[in-house]
Each structure stands twice: as structure tokens, then as C-alpha cells.
Amino acid sequence: MSKSTHFIPISKPFYSGVKNSSLGVAFNQATIPPLHSNVNTFENELEGYFDNESQVAALNSGTSAIHMALILLGVSKGDEVICQSMTFSASANPIIYQRATPVFVDSEEDTWNMCPVYLEKAIKDRITKGIKPKAIIAVHSYGMPYNADEICRIADHYGIPVVEDSAEALGSRYKERKCGNLGTISIFSFNNNKIVTAMGGGALIVQTAELKKNAIFLATQAKDQADHYQHSTLGYNYRMSELCARFGLGQLRMLENRVEEHRSMHAFYRDIFSEIQGVTVFSEPTETYFSNHWLVAILVDPNKTNGITKFHLQSAFAKAHIESRPIWKPMHLQPIFEKMPYYGADVSKNLFEKGLCLPSGINISHDERIRIESIIKCTFAK
């Protein structure tokens, strides 16, 4: 393949901050349980990120962290859990793992995240029907914080805990408060495609040492204190591995720089689209919000672009070996969830119809930026 047509993925993992030698050390340490393991250090550093006001349990994925959050909140068979509809399926699947029912809620226009008005409608209606929701799962989509003041106010008013799905929002802030610290229980993901990766991993953020201890107990097969293997509770194999923790540590220490680079990709697209009618780049609605801009997304309104749709752009990109991808298809429109209760209008559906994610990796070169820019300009010049 010639130099000018190599493939540009939507996000390629960037493995800086990791030296081969440190992985070698991790491997040696991993064979004997060390006093201060990489997993403990990883947890301590994340706790430091929150000024040691929160407790962190490192797990093997963001999905298992959401599952663990629901277990700690006592979600079980027959319960209902409210979940933002416009998200990745991993936000909602753990509700089913607990044999509870998801109740989906629409997005608001400006943050694309859970709409407080429909959230309250959903809670009231479920209570009228005799089932008070056991938890609320709210998501910071693409790194954009949800409207935390309103979501928390409603949750507090009805006494329902919030699981903050911060899988995409490490480094984002709401009113100078760090995402990952806005829920009753919060989670991060360190999967390959996230802003900081551990080659797979997750974290649970809780407010007491006791909850952390309990999470780790459950995540390591719930072994009772005894000479033999004794179990009186259902356990899980959800702990982060030593190698992943070592890998993640190197990356975690580069967080600030990562966020800056992602925000610079966002500014790059803002510049290009400022001159193109009918396309908006997903951006912070007010100064209350600070997004890490994990993935840059745009909305294309064909009524204002002379009929050019996101599909035109997507196929022009594909021909040039550049990846782009529609934004999350809302959960209430997914075959697996279509029979579940839903509260809202068509905000998330409309976003899905117009929304496209663009290459947002921080290791996109100057030449690659030029290729991307020229495809965009050609497509909308028609």
C-alpha cells in the first residue's frame, strides 16, 4: 500500500509510557505475589488522582465494574434499573446479568446524555406502577459529562443511587469535579480503545474502605477465611491482572498529555467544520463541562448541507481507507432490548441518524490530518 493511502482507524491504541523492561519486571513480580503489587499501586495512583477522597478497586474490565456496582447496590431478580439509552451495550448488559429489567431513558440535546426531565418521568411512572427503580446508570458519552447537578438532585430526591459509567470520561470534569467521582459508585474502563488503556481493565470507585474490601473479596472468588477453600457467597473472577496493572500505570501517568492531544484533535475538526454549513462538532454546551473528547463526533444535517448526509462522508472516507463510525445506536432500538420500557421522545434516535465518529487517535500524523481534511472539504463542496 502506498504511503498516502494507508489505513487510518478511528482510534488506534497508543502504547507510549510503557517500556519493555517494566513489563519484564511486572512478569517477574507476577510470579510471586509481591507485597506492593502493581494492582495495588494502580489503585493508589487512581486514588491519588481523586485526592485520596475515594477508594478504588481495580478490576478486569469496565463491564465487570458495572456488574460489581450493581451487585454492591443489591440489584437482583425482579428489580428495575434505569439506564441511559444512548450508550454502548456494556452499560446495560450487567442489568440483565443480575436478572433485573433495564428501563431506558432518552438523551438531552446539548450533552447527548441522560435527559433529567425524562429521568424524573420514568421514576415517577415506575413508582406509580409499584416498582421503585433500584439504581440509575448515567453515562458520559464520548467523554462529555452528563448534567450531574440535575441527575444527582433527582436521584437524591427519590433516594436512588447513581452508577456513574465513566468508561469514556477519564480526565473529563464537571464544574471542576472529576468524572469518576460524581456517582454513588463510579466506574472506568481501561480497554484498548479508551483514552488510557491497560490492555484490558476496569476500576470501581467507591466511597468507603469497607465497600472496596467487599468488592475485592467478591472479585477474587469470595473465599472465606479458612484453611480450605470455603465459600458462603457467590464469587467472581473480576480482578485486574498484574501485567495489565503494570501496563496501565505507564499510561495513567500520561493522562494529562492524552487529554490535551484529544482536545487538539477536537479543535482540528472544529476549525474545518466552522466553514461548513450544516455540520456541528459535538462540543461542551457551557463552561460547566470539560470533555476529554475521547472520540470526536459530528452531526450532519442534510437539510442544511444541500442533501449531503453522514453516509456520503462515511463512504468518501472508506474509499480513502479512513475509518469513521456511526454514534451509538440507542439501546431501546436494539433487538435485544426492544421490549424493555422506554421513556423519552426521539432525541437519541435523531442523534443516531445524524451522528458520525471521526478518527480521533492522538497519534494521527500531520499528513494524515491533511488527508482527512481534504476528504471532508471535497465531500461538502459538492
Ligand X SMILES: *Cc1c(COP(=O)(O)O)cnc(C)c1O
165 near ligand X, rule: CB under 6 A: yes
How far apart are CB 168 and ligand X at their closest, in Å? 5
How far apart are CB 72 and ligand X at their closest, in Å? 17
Nearer to ligand X, 11 or 61 (CB): 61
Could you tell me which stretch among 12-20, 61-69, 263-271, 341-349 binds ligand X (CB under 6 A)?
Answer: 61-69
Nearer to ligand X, 87 or 214 (CB): 87
Judged by CB under 6 A, the number of residues near ligand X is 14
Nearer to ligand X, 88 or 269 (CB): 88
Closest by alpha carbon to 49, among 266, 249, 200?
A: 249
Nearer to ligand X, 279 or 362 (CB): 362
Pairing type for strands 279-281 and 325-326 reads: unpaired
Report the distance separating Cα 312 and Cα 376, nearest Å.
Answer: 10
Report the distance separating Cα 52 and Cα 104, nearest Å.
Answer: 34
Distances in Å between the Cα of 247 and the Cα atoms of 14, 29, 65, 139, 227 are 12, 13, 19, 26, 33
113 near ligand X, rule: CB under 6 A: no
> Residues 46, 49, 62, 258: which binds ligand X (CB under 6 A)?
62
Buried b (16+ CB within 10 A) or exposed e, 292-311: bbbbbbbbbeeeebeebebe
> Residues 139, 170, 195, 298: which binds ligand X (CB under 6 A)?
139
List all residues 6 or more positions away from 169 whose beta carbon is below 8 Å from its beta carbon: 140, 143, 144, 145, 179, 180, 291, 292, 294
> Residues 55, 56, 72, 88: which binds ligand X (CB under 6 A)?
88
Could you tell me which stretch among 72-80, 161-169, 225-233, 253-261 binds ligand X (CB under 6 A)?
Answer: 161-169
Could you tell me which stretch among 55-63, 230-238, 240-248, 299-307 binds ligand X (CB under 6 A)?
Answer: 55-63
Query: Among residue numbers 170 through 229, which ones bind ligand X (CB under 6 A)?
Result: 189, 191, 202
Closest by alpha carbon to 269, among 356, 146, 167, 143?
A: 356
Nearer to ligand X, 202 or 248 (CB): 202
Nearer to ligand X, 117 or 199 (CB): 199
Closest by alpha carbon to 273, among 352, 141, 379?
A: 379
Which residues make up the interface to ligand X (CB under 6 A)?
A: 61-63, 87-88, 90-91, 139, 165, 167-168, 189, 191, 202
